[in-house]
Structure 1
Amino acid sequence: METKNKEYIEFIERKKKRPKEWGFSVDESKLNPLMFEFQRYCVKRAVEVGRFALFEDCGLGKTFQQLEWCKQINEKEQRPVIILTPLAVSGQTIKEAEKFGYSIERLKDDVNLKNKIYIINYDQIENIDAALFCGVALDESSILKNFEGKMRNQLIDRFQNTPYKSCWTATPSPNDPMELGNHSEFLGVMTRSEMLSMYFVHDGGDTAKWRIKGHAEKDFWRWVSTWAIMISKPSDIGFDDTGYILPELNMIETIIETHKRDNGMLFNDIAVNATNFNKELKLTLVDRLDSVADIVNNSTDNFIIWIKQDAEGEYLRKLIPDAIEVKGSDKPELKESRLLGFANNEFRVLITKAKIAQYGLNYQNCHNQIFASLDFSFESVYQAIRRSLRFGQQHMVNIYIVTTDTMQNVLANIKDKQDKFYEMQKHMVDAMRSVFTVKKKKESQEVDFELPKFLKAS
C-alpha cells in the first residue's frame, strides 16, 4: 500500500505544472469604485491569471464583475472582447452595464468591429469568428456541463487560441467532475481526460461515474483553486458579509395521493425512472395542475410556474387567466420580450420550463415559485430557485413543490444531490482558505496569493 502511494505521489509530481498565467497586474484603484471589496479582489485575481473561473452564488454580482473583467482586458489589449449568454440574459446584461457605466453592444455581425465589448447569445455562436476577439467571457458557463455536447465542443474549439478567457456560473454540478474538467479544458489549464487520470478513479463498474481518489482530494481542490474561485458568500474568502445574507427560504411540499391503479399490487408504485417518467407526468397532470392553479388563483402575488411538458402549460393557461407562457417553440425575440417583461412586472404569472429560464435571469420582483413537475436534475431546480432567492431579495421566498406519491424518488434524488453540492462547496472553500491569505488594513486591503508548493517551479 505504501509503495502504491509513493508511486502515485511521484506520478503526480511529474504531471503537475504551474498553470500558465496569461493575465497582467491591475491597479486596484483603477477598478470600478462601485464594486465591493470582495468583488474587486475576485476581478483582480481573474485579470491577473487571465484565464479564470468565478463560481459565485446568485446575487453576488457576477455580471458586474464580468463587465469589469471585460473592460480591463479591452483597455489593455485595445481589441474587442465578447460575452456569451443564454437567451434573454443579454438584455439584462446590457441594462446592468448601463447602470454601472459600461458600454456594450449586441453583436449583429463581425464586420467592421470596433474596439469595445460585445455580447451575443450562445445559440448564435456559429456566427462568431473567435479570432477577432482577444477575450471571451462565458456567462452561465454551466453550459459546458455535457462533455459530449455540441455546444461544449464548439466553445472549446472556437476559443482555443483566445488569450483571455473567463467563466461565470453559480453551480458546477454536484459530484460531477466532468463539468469542472470541461471548465479547465476551456480555460486551457488541463484537459478533462488529464484531470480524470490524475485525480479520479472509475466508481465501480460504471465508467460514466468518477470519484476523487481518497489521498488526492486535498490536492485536487487546491489545484482547482489556482484557476477558480468558488464562494457562496463574501466571508468564504475573508470579506464582510454585510448586505449578503440570503432571505428566508420557505419550502412547501404538496404530495398528491393518486388513485389506485390496476397494477396487480396493493399500492401504486412510489418510484419512477427515466423510461416511465414522462408517462407518469401525463397520468398525474390534472391532479397536480389543479393544485397549482388553486395556489396561484388564491393570491395576488407574482408567481413563476416551472413545468416539463407543453401540455402542462396549455392546461394551466386555461385555469390561470393572467398567466403568460414562454415555450421552446416561440421565436427568440418573443421569448426574450416575455422573459424580460415578467422581470418588469408587465404580467403577474410566468409559466415556462427550467431549460428556458433557469440561467442568469434576475427575478427579485417575484418571491413565489411553483414546481408543477420535477425531474432528476438538481442543477435545474437550484438555478430556477435562485432566480428569486438572491442577495437583495426583500421577501421570504416561497417554493411550492407539487408532486405525487408515485414520484417520491425524484424528490429524494434532488435532496441527495443538494447535500453533495454543499459538500463540494465546503471542500472548495476550505481549499481556497488554505491557499489564499487575506490581510486586512484599516483603509485598504491587500490580498496575497501563495501557490501550493506542488505548483511552484522546481
Structure 2
Amino acid sequence: MNDYQFLREYQGFLSEKMVPTPKTGFMVNREQIHSICFPYQANAIQWGAEGGCRAIFAHFGLGKTIIQLQLAMLCLAGREGKALIVCPLAVKQEFYEAAQMLDTSITYCRTQAEVEATQTRIIITNYERVRDGDIQPDYFVFASLDEASVLRSYGSKTYQEFLSKFQAVQFRYVCTATPSPNKYKELIHYAGFLGVMDTGQALTRFFKRDSTKANNLTIHPHKEREFWLWVSSWALFITKPSDLGYSDEGFALPKLHRHWHLINLPKEESAVDRDGQLKLIRDEAIDLRSSAKEKRDSIDARIVHATGIVDGEPSDTSWVIWHDLEKEREKLEETADLLGWTSFKSVYGSQDDALKEKLLIDFKHGDYRILATKPSIAGQGCNFQKHCYSAIFLGITYKFNDIIQAVHRIQRYGQSHECHVHFIYTDAEEHVRREFEAKWQRHDELVATMTGIVKEFGLSQTAMHSELNRSMGVEREQVSGDRFTAVHNDCILETARMEENSVGLILTSIPFSNHYEYTPSYNDLGHTNNDDHFFAQMDFLTPNLHRVLQPGRLAVVHVKDRILFGSVTGTGMPTVNPFHMKTTFHFMKHGFEFMGMITIETDVVRENNGTYRLGWTEQCKDGSKMGVGSPEYLLLFRKLPTDTSKAYADIPVVKAKEAYTRGKWQIDARAKWNSSGDTLLTPEEIANWQVDKIASVFMERSRETVYNYAAHVESANEMDKRGKLPATFESLRVAARSEYVWDDVVRMHTLNSRQSQHREEQHICPFQIDIVDRAIVRYSNEGDVVYDPFGGLGTVGNRAIPLNRRSYSCELNPDYFRCNVAYHREAEYKRKVPTLFDLLQSA
C-alpha cells in the first residue's frame, strides 16, 4: 500500500466514527397535528416523530401528556399494533382528560390479557404492571415512559432491566420534567433505552473513572459542552415557549418562595448519645440512616410546627403536606382530629388504588382543603395548581428529585398565585439542607445549559452536528533535544513517516480499547466502539511498528484485562475481557513473534475498592460468582532478525557479565512482577504503622519458609481480630517464588506524583517507572532509540535518557504533550549537570 492509499483508507476509517444520532422516525406536517396543540407543542411533536426514539424534557405544565398522546396517534396511523404509555398510577386521570381533548380513546390495562382483549389502540398502565406484572412491552409498536425519573426509586438493577425490556419497540420515548442534574448516568441510561448509544460506550466517551471507587464518574472538562450537545441531539429541553421562538404570553411561571424552618430539639433530647455520654453539640445527620433516625426522633416537634404554619394562614388556604414516614402520617391524622381539621384527607400506600385515585382527583378539584401524602405516591404527574399554592415538607431528604417533583405539583404553568413551600428540618440536618440546596442549584444550571443549546441551534440538528463532529487530524509539532524527539501527532501518522529499522526498542502502554478517551479527537484510539473497532484502528499502526523496529528487537507492550460489569453485559455479574490475549493475537497477525509475557500482580484489595467485584460479602453469599484479581502484563513481541539460523538480532542487545550479574539476570528473568501496593504514608496510615511493618516482615519470611496456607489464613484472622487487617490495601502478600514473577513493582511510582506536585492534569493510566526501567535495561543497548507511540506524560523517554538511550515519543493529547516535553528536558538537563557525587568521584 502506497502512502496515498494508506492516508485515504485511514481518513475513511476516521470519518466513519462520526456517526450522528440516529433518526428512525418519519416526517409530520403541521396539518397532521391536532389544532388544540400549541405551536411549541407541535414543534416538539414533529421533532419527536422524525427522531423515532427521543426524550422530551418539558417543564411542568407545558403539556407532556398531550405531546405523548399525539405522538402515539401519529405513530399508529397506517400501522398495525398498539401503543403503550407507562405512567405513575396517580397520573392516569391526566391522560384521560388529555385524550378527550385530542378526540381519541385510551384504556387502562392491568394485564397482558386485558391489553390483547381491548379494541382501544392506546393503552396506559402504571410502572408496577410492567415491572412486576405480565405486560409485555415488545407487543407494542410505540412506548412512552411518562415521568420516567420515577424509575430511579426502583434501584439501579431494576432500572436497567426495566429499560432493556423495551428494546424491540419501534418507537420509544422518554418524558420527564426533571432529568437528574446530579446523576449523569440517568441521562446515559435514557440514551441506552432510546438506542442512541450503548451505556458503556457513553460512559467511556465522556467520563473519567475513579480507579479507587466504582461508579464515581467525573465528566472530562474538555467533553462537557460536547456532552450536552450530544444530549440535545436526542433530548429536547423546554422550559417555556420562547425556548422554541414563541411568545410566553399565558405561560408565566409563578414565583416560588422557599421557607426554611429550623427545629431546635429540647436539650434533654439532643445532648445524650446512645452510650449515655453528654454532648455539647448534636451530631449532624450525614447519611440516610442517621437522617431517618433524626426524623423519627423529631416527629412530634415537626408536626406541631407544621400545624402551626397551616393554622397561621387564612382558613380557606389549601395545603399539601408531604411526609416520608408512616408514623408521620399517623401522628398527623391524630393531630388533625384534635385540631378539628374537617377538610383533611390522607392518601397512603395500603389504600385501594381506586380510592387513592379518587382522593387525589377530589383534591385537584378543590373538594377538600388539606392533603397529606408521600412524594412517592403523588409527587409525580398530579396537577394541583388550580386550587392549591401552598405546601409543607415535614422533613427534608437527600432525594432531590422527589422533592422537586412534589414542589411542582403546585408551581407550574396555570398557577395564578405565587407559591409558598415550607421545609421543616432539625439542627442535625444542616448537612442535608446544604446538599439539597446545592442539588437545586445544579438543577437550575442544567436547565439553563440545555435550554441555551436549544435557543442556539433550534430543532435543526445540522448546525449542532457540525459542532458535534470531533476534530480530525492534528497539526504536527516536534520538539527535539540532544537525546530526545517529542512529537505532538497521531501516532499512526507519525509512525508511518518514520524511517525503517530505526528503533531499537518499542516500549509503550497502549490504550485499553475503548476504556478511556484521552482527547476529543477522532484520531484517539480510545474513541472506538468496542475491541473489534479498536484493533481495526490498530491495524493502521502495528504494521508500521513492525517496519520501524530493528530486526531481532522487541516491542514491549503494557496491557491490562478489562472488567465487564454485569449491568452492561446483561450477565448480572462482573466478567473479564481477556484484552491481553486479543492484543497478543493482533501483534502476531502483523508479523511479530510472541516471546512471552511478564505478569505484574496488582493489589486485590485496592482493585475491589475500584470495581466492587471481589467483595468478601459477595464471596460469602455465593462463591461461584467470585473471580480473582486482574493483573497487568508486559507482552513481549519480537521482529524476526534477518538471519534466523541463530536468531540473534541484527544488532544484538549485549551486556557485560561484570555489570549484568547472574543475580540481576535471575530477577529480570521473572515473568511475574508483583505490585507492592505501597505509597507514601498518609497520616491515617502512619497512625497504624505496625500494619506496614507486619506486611514487610510477612513478605520477607514467605521467601525463606515453606508456604503454609493454613498459617497464612491464621495470620490474617489474627490481624483482623486486632483491627490490623486493612480494607484499603493487601497486607499479607506472599513473595513470588517463580523466576517468571516480578513482585517488587511500586505502583504509585509514576510521573503522576510529579503532576500532582505541579498541580497539573494527571494521566489516566500512568506507566510505572519500575517497569519502564527494567524493560529498557533488559531489552535495549545504550545509544538505542526507544520509541513510545503513546507517549503520555513521557515516562518512557524520561527514563530512557538517564539510562543513556535516545527517546522518540509521540502524543496526541496537547496537555500531556506539553508535560511530556518538560519531563524530557528535565531528564536531559539532569544528565548534563554533574551531581555532588560526580564531583567527589572525579576529585
Give the TM-score normalised by structure 1: 0.90
Q: Which structure 2 residues correspond to residues 57-72 of structure 1 after superposition, within 5 A?
A: 57-72=59-74
Equivalent residue for 1:317? 333
Q: Which structure 2 residues correspond to residues 159-308 of structure 1 after superposition, within 5 A?
A: 159-202=166-209, 205-260=212-267, 261-263=271-273, 264-298=278-312, 299-308=315-324
- 2:76 equivalent among 74, 83, 89: 74
Q: Which structure 2 residues correspond to residues 276-425 of structure 1 after superposition, within 5 A?
A: 276-298=290-312, 299-320=315-336, 321-322=341-342, 323-364=344-385, 365-425=387-447
Deviation (angstroms), 1:228:
0.8
- Once residues 448 and 258 of structure 1 are traced to their aligned partners in structure 2, the CA distance between those partners, rounded to angstroms, is 56
**Contact 2:144 2:173 (8 Å CA) reproduced:** yes
Instruction: Classify the secondary structure of the residue corresponding to 1:258.
Output: coil
**Contact 2:319 2:388 (8 Å CA) reproduced:** yes
Instruction: Classify the secondary structure of the residue corresponding to 1:111.
Output: helix
Equivalent residue for 1:117? 122
- Once residues 357 and 13 of structure 1 are traced to their aligned partners in structure 2, the CA distance between those partners, rounded to angstroms, is 49
Equivalent residue for 1:453? 466
Instruction: Classify the secondary structure of the residue corresponding to 1:160.
Output: coil
Instruction: Classify the secondary structure of the residue corresponding to 2:77.
Output: helix
> What are the superposed Cα offsets for residues 352-397 of structure 1, whole Å, 9 maximum, x if unpaired?
1111111111111211100011111111111000000001101111
Instruction: Classify the secondary structure of the residue corresponding to 1:84.
Output: strand
Deviation (angstroms), 1:398:
1.0
- Once residues 438 and 13 of structure 2 are traced to their aligned partners in structure 1, the CA distance between those partners, rounded to angstroms, is 34
Deviation (angstroms), 1:48:
0.6
Equivalent residue for 1:440? none
Deviation (angstroms), 1:241:
1.5
Q: Which structure 2 residues correspond to residues 2-17 of structure 1 after superposition, within 5 A?
A: 15-17=17-19
**Contact 1:147 1:179 (8 Å CA) reproduced:** no
| Residue 37 of structure 2 is aligned to residue 35 of structure 1 | yes
Q: 1:273 to 1:115 in 2, by over 3 A?
A: closer
> What are the superposed Cα offsets for residues 40-80 of structure 1, whole Å, 9 maximum, x if unpaired?
10110000111000011101111111111111111142421
**Contact 1:250 1:398 (8 Å CA) reproduced:** yes
Instruction: Classify the secondary structure of the residue corresponding to 1:225.
Output: helix
**Contact 1:326 1:338 (8 Å CA) reproduced:** yes
Give the partner amino acid of 2:319. Answer: F
Give the partner amino acid of 2:121. Answer: K
Q: 1:383 to 1:453 in 2, by over 3 A?
A: same
Give the partner amino acid of 1:209. Answer: N
Give structure 2 stretches of 5+ with no counterpart.
Answer: 1-11, 473-843
- Once residues 404 and 425 of structure 2 are traced to their aligned partners in structure 1, the CA distance between those partners, rounded to angstroms, is 17
Give the partner amino acid of 1:120. Answer: T
**Contact 2:173 2:194 (8 Å CA) reproduced:** yes
> What are the superposed Cα offsets for residues 233-289 of structure 1, whole Å, 9 maximum, x if unpaired?
222232221122211212222111111222433232344422211111111111111
> What are the superposed Cα offsets for residues 74-103 of structure 1, whole Å, 9 maximum, x if unpaired?
114242111111012112211222134232
Give the partner amino acid of 1:183. Answer: Y
Q: 1:12 to 1:258 in 2, by over 3 A?
A: farther
Deviation (angstroms), 1:17:
1.6
**Contact 1:256 1:288 (8 Å CA) reproduced:** yes
- Once residues 311 and 146 of structure 1 are traced to their aligned partners in structure 2, the CA distance between those partners, rounded to angstroms, is 21
Instruction: Classify the secondary structure of the residue corresponding to 1:428.
Output: helix
**Contact 2:160 2:189 (8 Å CA) reproduced:** no
Give the partner amino acid of 2:465. Answer: P
- Once residues 11 and 140 of structure 1 are traced to their aligned partners in structure 2, the CA distance between those partners, rounded to angstroms, is 40
**Contact 2:149 2:178 (8 Å CA) reproduced:** yes
Give the partner amino acid of 2:160. Answer: N
Q: 1:363 to 1:226 in 2, by over 3 A?
A: same
Give the partner amino acid of 1:453. Answer: S
Higher-RCO chain (CA-CA 8 Å, sequence separation at least 6): 1
> What are the superposed Cα offsets for residues 190-227 of structure 1, whole Å, 9 maximum, x if unpaired?
12211110011125744333121111112111111111
**Contact 1:436 1:449 (8 Å CA) reproduced:** no
**Contact 1:308 1:374 (8 Å CA) reproduced:** no
Please state which structure has a larger fraction of its residues in strand: 1
- Once residues 11 and 295 of structure 1 are traced to their aligned partners in structure 2, the CA distance between those partners, rounded to angstroms, is 66
Instruction: Classify the secondary structure of the residue corresponding to 1:262.
Output: coil
Q: 1:423 to 1:448 in 2, by over 3 A?
A: closer
> What are the superposed Cα offsets for residues 139-189 of structure 1, whole Å, 9 maximum, x if unpaired?
001134369545423432321110001111001111311110111111111
Farther-moved stretch of structure 1 (382-391 vs 236-245): 236-245
Farther-moved stretch of structure 1 (407-416 vs 109-118): 109-118
- Once residues 11 and 282 of structure 1 are traced to their aligned partners in structure 2, the CA distance between those partners, rounded to angstroms, is 61
Q: 1:43 to 1:50 in 2, by over 3 A?
A: same
Which of the two has higher C-alpha Rg? 2
**Contact 2:320 2:390 (8 Å CA) reproduced:** yes
**Contact 1:248 1:397 (8 Å CA) reproduced:** yes
**Contact 1:374 1:411 (8 Å CA) reproduced:** yes
- Once residues 14 and 416 of structure 2 are traced to their aligned partners in structure 1, the CA distance between those partners, rounded to angstroms, is 48
Equivalent residue for 2:92? 90
**Contact 1:252 1:399 (8 Å CA) reproduced:** yes
Give the partner amino acid of 1:198. Answer: R
- Once residues 100 and 93 of structure 2 are traced to their aligned partners in structure 1, the CA distance between those partners, rounded to angstroms, is 11
Equivalent residue for 1:5? none
- Once residues 461 and 36 of structure 2 are traced to their aligned partners in structure 1, the CA distance between those partners, rounded to angstroms, is 22
Quick one: percent identity of the two aligned structures? 29
Give the partner amino acid of 1:348. Answer: R
- Once residues 148 and 255 of structure 1 are traced to their aligned partners in structure 2, the CA distance between those partners, rounded to angstroms, is 31
Equivalent residue for 1:142? 149
Give the partner amino acid of 1:239. Answer: Y
Q: 1:148 to 1:255 in 2, by over 3 A?
A: closer
Q: 1:395 to 1:68 in 2, by over 3 A?
A: same
Instruction: Classify the secondary structure of the residue corresponding to 1:425.
Output: helix
- 2:50 equivalent among 35, 48, 61: 48
Instruction: Classify the secondary structure of the residue corresponding to 1:207.
Output: coil
**Contact 2:379 2:402 (8 Å CA) reproduced:** yes
- Once residues 185 and 78 of structure 2 are traced to their aligned partners in structure 1, the CA distance between those partners, rounded to angstroms, is 33
Q: 1:294 to 1:111 in 2, by over 3 A?
A: same
**Contact 1:147 1:182 (8 Å CA) reproduced:** no
Give the partner amino acid of 2:61. Answer: G
